[in-house]
Structure 1
Amino acid sequence: MRRLLTYGFLLSLVSAGLLFVATGTSHADTVCQVTDPLTGECFIWVEVPGNPGDPGDDGPEDTGSGKACYWDPGKQGLSRPPAGPVPCTSEYGYWSNNYNCYISAADPQPPAGDPSWQGHEPGDGAVYVCFQPQTDIDIRIWSQDPPPGADTGPTPREVAQMAISQMNLRAIDIGITPEPGADDVGIVGMPVWLWVKNPDSHSYGPITESASAGGITVTATARVEDITWDMGDGSQVTCRSAGTPYEPSYGRQASPDCGHTYLKSSSTESGGKYTVTAASDWVITWIGAGQTGTIRLNGLQRSVQVAVGEAQVLVQ
C-alpha cells in the first residue's frame, strides 16, 4: 500500500544531488598525447586490456561498468532494502537518483491552491509523483522542469574515473644502479638494481578518492599492481614490488626482488647509454551505488639513461 507524503516531509527525506566533475592530469615525463582542445589540459586515459570482464594479463580483470540507476537507502537513513541497481523505467515512471524514486507527472494535476504546488499556479511548472516501490512511499513534488532521469547520467564506472582524475597519479621516480650520471658507469655482467625511489601515494599508492555526479557517489582506491622496466637492450623486467634500494654494503649481490644484468656494453647506443623506461600498471577498485568494479590503468612512465661498459683487464 502506497504511503502518500507531503512535500514538507520530502525535504526531510530527499536532497537533490549537485553535479560536479573533478578534473586532473596524469603526470609523466613524456609529452601529452591527448589534449582537451577547449581547456588545453592533458586527458587522463585508461587503457583496458579488452572489454570489461575480459581477462587481461595475470593481474585482476577489468570489470564492471555499473548501472546508472540505483536505489540508495542511505539517503533516507534506512538500512534496507540494500543499495543496488534498479530498472531505469517501470510502470511507475522513470528513475531519478537525485530523488531516489520513480518520477511521473501527476494526472490529473492538483487544483489551484493545493499544497503540492508550493505557492505556484497551475501551468507554472508541474506537480510530479515520486514513488518508491522499495518503501511504498508516494510523494508529490513541484518542479519547474521535469526532474532529470538517471539513465541520462553517468554510470558508476564513469564517476569512478572522475575520482581517479582527482588522484593526480604520476609516474614513479626511478631508482637504479648504476645511478644515472656522466661519471657512474655500470659493468657488463654486474647486477643492476631497480626500485621505486621515494614512493608515495601518487606514484605507487594506495590512494583513495571519492567523486559525485548525477546523484551517484563512488569511492575509488588505486594501487600499482606491477612495474614493467624496459631496459633498453631488448629486455623487459616485470616487478610486482617497489623493489629494494641498493646499498653499497650489498656489493655484487643481485637484487632480491627487482633487477637485471646487462650482457653487452651500451657503447653502440645513442649517446653511449641505454634508455631505461619504467611503466606503471595501476589497479583501481571502486564501490558506489550498491555496485563494485575494477579499472586497469597504464600509460604512466618515466625514463632515465645509464651507461654500461666492458670491464678492462690489465695483463702484466
Structure 2
Amino acid sequence: MPFGDSWRVGEAIDAADLLAPEPAPEAAAEAPPAAVLAQRAIELLTLDQPALRTSTGGSGFVGVPVWLWIEDGAATAGPVSATATAGASRVTATARLARVEWRMGPPGAVVSCDGPGTPWAGQSGPSPDCGYVFEQRSLPERTSGTGAWEVVATAVWTVSWNGVSGGEPVDGQEIVEVPATTALEIGEIQVLVAGETR
C-alpha cells in the first residue's frame, strides 16, 4: 500500500506534511542587566591593600606629630580600570582613590586624608596633609594587653562605570573600601631635671 498505513482512499496528502518541521531560530541571548555587568568589571579591578607607612617606624611618643601615608602606586592609589563584556554589551569600571581613613586606636581617633598622604623624609613638624598626634600612651590596659595601638587604614575608592548594555548607554558609581592594619607603640618622653637621679 503506497505511503504505508498513513494513506487513505480519497484523502489528499500535502507534501509539506511529509517534511520534518524546521526548528525555530534560537532567540538571541538577552543582555545581562547593567548592574550585573558593572559588578563583573569591578571584581576585575586590581585594588591592593594599602601599604601603610608612618614616620614613627612602629613606635612613637605622646605629643609628637606622626606622619601618615600609603605607598602611591596604580594598585594602591589609582587610577585602575577593567572591562567586562557579554556579547555586544560592554562596561568599563575605573577606580580612583578618594581618601584614606585612619583609625588610630584610641576611641574616636579618626583621621580622614584626601589622597595617599605625604611621605616623611626627616622633616620636622606635622604632616601637611595627613597626620596625627597621640595624646595617650599605648598601655596594655588600653590595648587589650598588646601594648600597641591597632591602626586601621581604609582606602576608600570611587568607582565610576560606563558602557553599553542591551544597546543602551549605561553609567553609574560605587564606593569600594579596602582596609589594612598595623600597630604603633606609643610611649612618653621622660624629661630629666639636672641634679635629679632616677
Q: 2:13: which partner in 1?
A: none
Which residue in 2 is equivalent to 1:190?
Answer: 64
CA distance in 2, matches of 1:262, 1:122: 84
Alpha-carbon deviation of 1:146?
2.7
Shift of 1:192: 0.6
- The two structures have a TM-score, normalised by structure 2, of 0.79
Give the Cα–Cα distance (whole angstroms) in 1 for the partners of residues 97 and 39 of structure 2. 16
User: 1:177: Cα distance to partner?
Assistant: 2.1
The equivalent residue for 1:147 is 28
User: Does residue 1:209 correspond to 2:88, yes or no?
Assistant: no
CA shift digits 1:200-234 (9 cap, x unpaired): 22222101111112531011110111111000012
For residue 23 of structure 2, what is the aligned residue in structure 1? 125
Aligned residues: 169
> Whose strand fraction is larger, Structure 1's or Structure 2's?
2
Match of residue 233, structure 1, among 106, 110, 124: 106
Spell out structure 1 runs of 4+ moving beyond 3 A. none
Distance of 2:126 and 2:172 partners within structure 1: 38
> After superposition, what is the alpha-carbon deviation per residue over 1:264-286, rounded to whole angstroms, capped at 9, x for unaligned?
11123232111111011111111
Query: Post-superposition shift, 1:158?
Result: 1.7
| Unaligned segments of structure 2, at least 5 residues | 1-15
Q: 1:177 aligns with which of 45, 49, 55?
A: 55
Change beyond 3 A, Cα 1:205–1:240: same
- Which residue in the other structure is 1:88 paired with? none
> What is the SS of the residue equivalent to 2:40?
helix
> Which one has a bigger Cα radius of gyration?
2
> Which segments of 5 or more consecutive residues in structure 1 lack a partner in the other structure?
1-111, 113-120, 127-142
Once the two structures are superposed, the pairs formed by residues 84-95 of structure 1 within 5 Å of their partners are: none
Sequence identity (%)? 32
The one-letter code matched in structure 1 to 2:27 is: P
CA distance in 2 between counterparts of 1:164 and 1:287 reads 11
Distance in 2 (alpha carbons) for counterparts of 1:305 and 1:207? 29
User: Please, which of 246, 271, 276 is the counterpart of residue 146 of structure 2?
Assistant: 271
Give distance in 1, aligned partners of 2:180 and 2:46. Answer: 15
Q: Please tell me whether the aligned partners of residues 154 and 214 of structure 1 are also in contact (alpha carbons under 8 angstroms).
A: no
- The alignment yields a C-alpha RMSD, in angstroms, of 1.7
Higher relative contact order (CA 8 A, sep 6+): 2
Please point out which of 89, 92, 95 is paired with 1:219. 92
The residue type paired with residue 146 of structure 1 is A
Out of 130, 145, 149, the residue aligned to residue 258 of structure 1 is 130
The amino acid across from 2:85 in the alignment is S
Q: Secondary structure of the equivalent of 1:266?
A: coil
Q: Which amino acid aligns with 2:69?
A: W
